[in-house]
Amino acid sequence: MTALWLGVLLLAGVAAAMAPSGQDEDLSMPGTESQKAFDLLDERFPQSNSQGAEARLVFQAPDGQRVTAAENKAAVERTLGSLKEGEQVASITDPYETGAVSKDGTIAYSTITYTADAVDLTGPTKSSLEDAAGKARDAGLTVEIGGSALDSDEEPGGTTEIIGVVVAGVVLVLALGSLVAAGLSLLTAFLGVAIGFGLISALAVPLGLTSTVAILALMLGLAVGIDYALFITSRFRDERAQGSEPEEAAGRAAGTAGSAVVFAGATVFIALVGLGVVGIPELTKMGLAGAGAVALAVLVALTLVPALLGFFGRRVLSRAVRKAGRPGNERTAAGRPGLGTRWARFVLRRPVTVLLIAGLGLGAVALPALSLELGLPGDESKSVETTQRRAYDLLSEGFGPGFNGPLTVVVDMSKSPDPQAAADRVVTTVRGVDGIASVGDPVLNRAKDTAVLTAVPKTAPTSGETKDLVHALRGAVSGAESGTGADILVTGTTALNIDISEAMSDALVPYLTVVIGLAVILLMVVFRSVLVPVKAALGFLLSVGAAFGVVVAVFQWGWAADLIGIEQTGPVMSLMPILIIGIVFGLAMDYEVFLVSRMREAHVHGASPGEAIVGGFRHSGRVVAAAAIIMTSVFTGFIGMSNPTIQTMGVGLASAVAFDAFVVRMAIAPAVLALLGRRAWWLPRSLNRVLPNVDIEGEALSRHVPAAVTVPDAAAPRLPVDWR
């Protein structure tokens, strides 16, 4: 088995090495008005690229001077002249001919359009742009570069993810007490991640997979890979503590903890694949890549981990157990119950108090989520150290805040009896909309059947007023359609961002409903209970709400933003809520399954409700806590990257996992189960006959393999064991 996986790793590495490197693509959403307009522009203006790269060279004269002064004007013209011979340059505007000079004469700009998208611009093209700006600076001007031309230069990077892995390794050693066991979990996780990363790299070009897709797969694969290996290893050690031989213990671990891993991985897989229903290609790719990474982690955990456990035998046990010369029971020290047991008994004594404190605490953390604003931040959200942000500020200063987010009105006049009259009426209509600062003259294509005009808002691209303006503008131009016979579409980067954000908001509740419904059904199958799944779903809502509260507090309100390198606050990226929900759903079910399955196992074997809760924590509490710390550490490690998408995911996922594991599953869940008592495991007979039996407790396995003699645990409650 080990040789087989090494062979797969080799093939994936060779495929990745031979494949061309992938490139990021523009975010799009088929079916929206903005995307329809872009598609129409590509059809009617084939000589141009509606979503091609664009750069704005912004010039500012020295203090007390004007850019219209002879010396400064000559410097600007020399700068622009040096760009005209570029292979990918489509057009360059002269600010003095187009009137692109501020009213006070201190700021001017030139727009350079390219024949290729930003991701396809060559190194020499970008270098010539930066060299031209440098020449103008040498002449005494302040020059900054805005637009999309330099966006692809921002590669996500950082070293904090290594710290997360180091923390995970330390936690594994402390939790397992064995370097071999800890190394085995890390090694198998890295193997799965390496194979997944190799496959994504090999498929990057044919499938259009971006760097963000690859990093998400890396993040998820590493986190769940370590956790799944830890769960199976821990169950193996428990079976060895019961006196089983290595091969038998590995089989039992695969049959019990392995079943839980399959279910937990399936929930993550389904939730991530379900992201495709939203209709955004980039989100679909992220979901599929993440689901593939999780599927690989499950396969590695089910096949390679048991094989290695059987091979290493006693070496995966803790040093103290190996010295004792027999498997032994390592859950207690000097007869004292473990921390998990003591905590479970504390919750059983005060379930109402624990439930109120934990529930109200998470509710308070979730309150900022009520102010959640979605958007696709642009140059205004970048660091003030970047030239794009400084160009944005200069343009806002010289031409108004709305200048950085112009709206494009596309008029399809192919069915209009009088195209010119139609274009003139649209211009008049747009100029009459409140909130429009200026409207440019319409530009016609060669066939004279399509006109394009630019409308500049008075407000900034990400402001609520601009969002209202887009809706008002679309309402106004729809009235002009009936009288002219033309089809009128409002687009532009600002309008596209607004359309995507609204689509995300509209899809949030339906997606959340589907995810919760799926959680209830799957958990009902596993735990043969109605109330346990409902409790799990409500806990999931609490942890997700609290995670959104943290994201809003950090990325919108700026709380602790300096600690993670966030210099500019703004709307939360539109993709984040649905993406976080999809990922956290599966991860939350991980801890629910691994903790409650041991309670269910004890209940099936005759334990009382209280004994079942204590037994679940005694067997799985420490492991679930270690797994949560590992996963939180891995996600936190990605916060240090420069990519805002990855930073937001890191904060959201790390906080969600911490809240779900330590508050929902460790406090709220046992408190609710304690209050419910035996009613927690109630299932109507009709459902019991219909639902399939997944046997996550391993009863069928126990009937075929005789149980080993259990070493008594003096500190643990006496649970009757019935292997039947």
In this prediction, residue 673 carries a pLDDT of 94
Q: Band of the pLDDT at 332, cuts 50, 70, 90?
A: very low
Q: Which of the two residues, 300 and 506, has the higher pLDDT score?
A: 300
For residue 195, give both structure tokens: 């194979």
Does position 567 have pLDDT exceeding 80, yes or no? no
705 CB burial (10 A radius; 0-12, 13-18, 19+): middle
On whether the CB atoms of residues 57 and 143 are closer than 8 A, the answer is yes
**DSSP-assigned letter for residue 103:** T
What one-letter code names the amino acid at 663?
V
In this prediction, residue 22 carries a pLDDT of 55
Q: Band of the pLDDT at 26, cuts 50, 70, 90?
A: low
Between 110-119, 357-366, 422-431, the lowest mean confidence (pLDDT) is in: 110-119
For residue 442, give both structure tokens: 């319409």
- Distance (Å, whole) CA 294 – CA 301: 10
Residue with tokens 């093939």: 11
In this prediction, residue 155 carries a pLDDT of 47
Does position 601 have pLDDT exceeding 50, yes or no? yes
- Distance (Å, whole) CA 180 – CA 173: 9
In this prediction, residue 118 carries a pLDDT of 73
Helix, strand or coil, per DSSP, at residue 407: strand
Does position 333 have pLDDT exceeding 70, yes or no? no
- At 616-664, the pLDDT tens digits run 898 888 888 888 888 888 888 878 776 777 788 889 989 999 999 999 9
- Distance (Å, whole) CA 101 – CA 58: 10
Does position 28 have pLDDT exceeding 80, yes or no? no
Mean pLDDT confidence for 8-27: 73
- At 74-89, the pLDDT tens digits run 999 999 999 887 788 8
Mutual angle of helices 2-18 and 179-207, in 10-degree steps: 40
Does position 326 have pLDDT exceeding 60, yes or no? no
- Distance (Å, whole) CA 578 – CA 79: 45
Report the Cα 465 to chain-centroid distance in Å. Answer: 28
- Distance (Å, whole) CA 297 – CA 652: 22
Mutual angle of helices 669-676 and 609-637, in 10-degree steps: 160
Between 43-57, 359-373, 479-493, 554-568, the lowest mean confidence (pLDDT) is in: 43-57
pTM to 2 decimal places: 0.78
Does position 330 have pLDDT exceeding 50, yes or no? no
Q: What is the mean pLDDT of the chain?
A: 83
Does position 709 have pLDDT exceeding 50, yes or no? no
In this prediction, residue 322 carries a pLDDT of 62
Mean pLDDT confidence for 332-338: 58
In this prediction, residue 334 carries a pLDDT of 44
CA distances (Å), origin 700, targets 232, 616, 682: 18, 20, 22
Report the candidate in 33, 32, 48 with the shortest Cα–Cα distance to residue 443.
Answer: 48
Does position 667 have pLDDT exceeding 90, yes or no? yes
Q: Which of the two residues, 245 and 334, has the higher pLDDT score?
A: 245
- At 434-457, the pLDDT tens digits run 999 999 888 888 888 999 999 999
Does position 713 have pLDDT exceeding 60, yes or no? no
In DSSP terms, 39 is beta-bridged to none
- At 100-158, the pLDDT tens digits run 999 999 999 998 988 887 777 888 888 899 999 998 999 999 999 988 887 655 444 45
Mean pLDDT confidence for 297-321: 82
In this prediction, residue 359 carries a pLDDT of 94
- Distance (Å, whole) CA 269 – CA 289: 10
Report the candidate in 518, 517, 582 with the shortest Cα–Cα distance to residue 272.
Answer: 582
In this prediction, residue 235 carries a pLDDT of 85
- At 383-408, the pLDDT tens digits run 788 898 899 999 999 999 899 889 99
On whether the CB atoms of residues 15 and 202 are closer than 8 A, the answer is yes
